[in-house]
């Protein structure tokens, strides 16, 4: 058997179920590995005692002949905005420091029921309002492939921990790209489910319209297993044959102004697909940038309402005003002031227009595009560029220009998020600097299982990324 820390979610569950390793030993392996690589700052906390206690109970159940759940013994990282009973849930912000929910979020309850062990809380961009994970409260998270680079966000802790083999997998959340961007920059797979497919209650929100939890792992098989557990999907999972598959390539917008290595590596991936019998159908989603006008309106109107509702539901002692006043990261401070100041708040009329006019038009544009071209999914680079240095929170370099960090990294993932589409990231290569590049698939709402089948077949074509090379030593902070 491979090194225990190399086991993915499904492989780890199988090893425990078949008695190849005890759950206790598996959990100990990952606790020890996290201790060795704390400098990545992927976790904000490890609940070792609780994790080992659950592991021992699973081992006793197996010894007693009990049937184990499909995730029994598998240590997972849970993003620090998802309620897990008894564990602190701070969402990376001082205003929620010390908040310990008494109940699991539904997504956590489903995973726990399946036997998953919650190893600890993975770090995030403060309140999930960003993609760098340069968090002034909990510290910057480092990309395992280059410690001076961002891991992407906002689910950067889950992305970094999975890539660094600190966990077999984890659960993040995605509003505009927050499970797909870190997966792309850290060289792992991830899935944004169709909006509403995974329960999003008891998770510190940004937008009830756009938010969803989603799985992050090192292979599509693991995404499928976690999706099946959370949604209760039935039926055998079968990979989709590539011959005859039709993928839409929206060259306009999604393939424009790319980092040269990103474009080359993603184009190489398309060439592999063509050689395997996939038809690449070029055609743009008309006016996609204009249709995505609803994005920021929804994301800036809903947080005040939705965060306040979460605080009441989860029993937090903090009020929304506390969250605003105590925000630590400069970029998040600015956002919180913007959404809480009556002088700058999005008017309700603008929000209603975004929800009743712009968003439906965007969804219809996607449906019309799929129907007109007879495609199974869209394919495009997940991010226009690879990871950039920690600290470049305002702007980054792209093709000789300084461009806005946030809007550039989420450019390709944002429209599908607003439309509620399912999306998957697949790692497809490394740049000359050794930085991962991701290729994205978007499907129509409700096609999650079909999209997973397509992704599983595609994944087998692409080269497996080497694990990042880490040293078990504390480094000087950049």
Q: Which residues pair with 398 in a beta bridge?
A: 401
Which residue among the candidates 154, 340, 453, 457 is catalytic per the annotation? Answer: 154
- Closest by CA to 206, choosing from 323, 299, 318, 332, is 299
The DSSP-derived string for 183-240 is HHHHT-EEEEPPTTTS--TTB--S-TTT-EEEEEESSHHHHHHHHHHHHT--S---PP
Q: Give catalytic status of residue 154 as yes or no.
A: yes
Q: Is 316 left (phi over 0), alpha (psi -120 to 50) or beta?
A: beta
Which segments of 37-179 does DSSP mark as H helices, in order? 48-63, 106-113, 156-163
- Strand, helix or coil for residue 441: strand
Give the tokens for residue 44: 């904000």
Residue indicated by tokens 């994005």: 295
Say how far apart CA 140 and CA 136 lie, in whole Å.
7
Listed in sequence order, the residues at least 6 apart from 131 whose beta carbon sits closer than 8 Å to its beta carbon are 125, 150, 152, 153, 154, 177, 178, 181, 182, 405, 406, 409, 410
DSSP letter, residue 357 = I
Give the tokens for residue 213: 């939890």
DSSP letter, residue 69 = P
Beta strand 246-249 with 189-192: parallel, antiparallel or unpaired? unpaired
Per-residue burial over 257-288, b if 16 or more Cβ lie within 10 Å, else e, is ebbebbbebbebbbeebeeeebbebeeebeeb
Give the tokens for residue 160: 């970094």
Which residue among the candidates 178, 190, 207, 457 is catalytic per the annotation? Answer: 178
Distances in whole angstroms, Cα of residue 142 to Cα of each of 46, 147, 156, 186: 17, 5, 8, 10
Say how far apart CA 453 and CA 448 lie, in whole Å.
9
Q: Give catalytic status of residue 79 as yes or no.
A: yes
Phi and psi at residue 328, in whole multiples of 5°? -100, -40
Distances in whole angstroms, Cα of residue 364 to Cα of each of 194, 280, 360, 370: 15, 22, 6, 10
Say how far apart CA 213 and CA 81 lie, in whole Å.
10
Q: Give catalytic status of residue 201 as yes or no.
A: no
Phi and psi at residue 394, in whole multiples of 5°? -95, -50
Catalytic residues: 79, 154, 178
């Amino acid at each position: 058997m491979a090194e225990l820390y190399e086991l993915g979610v499904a492989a780890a569950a199988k090893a425990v179920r078949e008695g190849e390793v005890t759950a206790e030993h598996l959990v100990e392996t990952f606790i020890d590995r996290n201790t060795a690589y704390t400098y990545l700052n992927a976790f904000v906390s490890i609940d070792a005692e609780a994790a080992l206690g659950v592991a021992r109970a699973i081992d006793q159940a197996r010894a007693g002949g009990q049937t184990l759940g499909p995730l029994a013994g598998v240590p997972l990282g849970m993003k620090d905005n998802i309620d897990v009973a008894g564990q602190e849930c701070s969402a990376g912000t001082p205003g929620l420091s010390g908040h310990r929910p008494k109940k699991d979020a539904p997504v956590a309850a489903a995973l726990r029921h399946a036997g998953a062990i919650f190893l600890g809380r993975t770090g995030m961009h403060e309140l999930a309002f960003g993609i760098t994970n340069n968090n002034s409260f909990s510290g910057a998270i480092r990309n395992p492939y280059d410690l001076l680079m961002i891991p992407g966000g906002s689910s950067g802790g889950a992305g970094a921990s999975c890539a660094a083999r600190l966990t077999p997998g984890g659960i993040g959340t995605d509003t505009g790209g927050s499970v797909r961007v870190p997966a792309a920059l850290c060289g792992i797979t991830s899935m944004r489910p169709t909006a509403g497919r995974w329960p999003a209650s008891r998770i510190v929100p940004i937008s009830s319209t756009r938010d969803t939890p989603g799985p992050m792992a090192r292979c599509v098989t693991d995404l499928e297993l976690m999706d099946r557990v959370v949604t209760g999907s039935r039926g055998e999972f079968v990979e989709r044959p590539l011959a005859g598959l039709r993928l839409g390539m929206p060259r306009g917008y999604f393939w424009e102004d790319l980092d040269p290595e990103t474009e080359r590596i993603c184009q190489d991936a398309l060439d592999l697909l063509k050689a395997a019998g996939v038809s690449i159908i070029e055609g743009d989603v008309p006016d996609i940038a204009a249709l995505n006008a609803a994005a920021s309106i929804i994301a800036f109107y809903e947080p005040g309402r939705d965060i306040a509702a979460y605080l009441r539901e989860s029993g937090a002692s903090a009020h929304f005003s506390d969250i605003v006043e105590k925000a630590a990261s400069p970029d998040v401070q600015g956002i919180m002031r913007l959404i809480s100041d009556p002088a700058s708040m999005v008017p309700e009329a603008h929000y209603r227009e975004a929800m009743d006019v712009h968003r439906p038009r965007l969804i219809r544009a996607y449906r019309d595009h799929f129907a007109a071209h007879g495609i199974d999914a869209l394919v495009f680079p997940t991010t226009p560029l690879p990871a950039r240095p920690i600290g470049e929170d305002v702007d980054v370099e792209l093709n000789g220009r300084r461009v806005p960090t946030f809007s550039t990294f989420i450019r390709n993932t944002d429209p599908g998020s607003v439309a509620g589409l399912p999306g998957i990231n697949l790692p497809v290569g490394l740049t000359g600097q050794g930085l991962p590049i991701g290729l994205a698939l978007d499907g129509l709402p409700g096609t999650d299982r079909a999209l997973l089948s397509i992704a599983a077949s595609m994944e087998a074509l692409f080269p497996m990324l080497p694990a990042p090379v880490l040293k078990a030593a504390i480094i000087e902070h950049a």
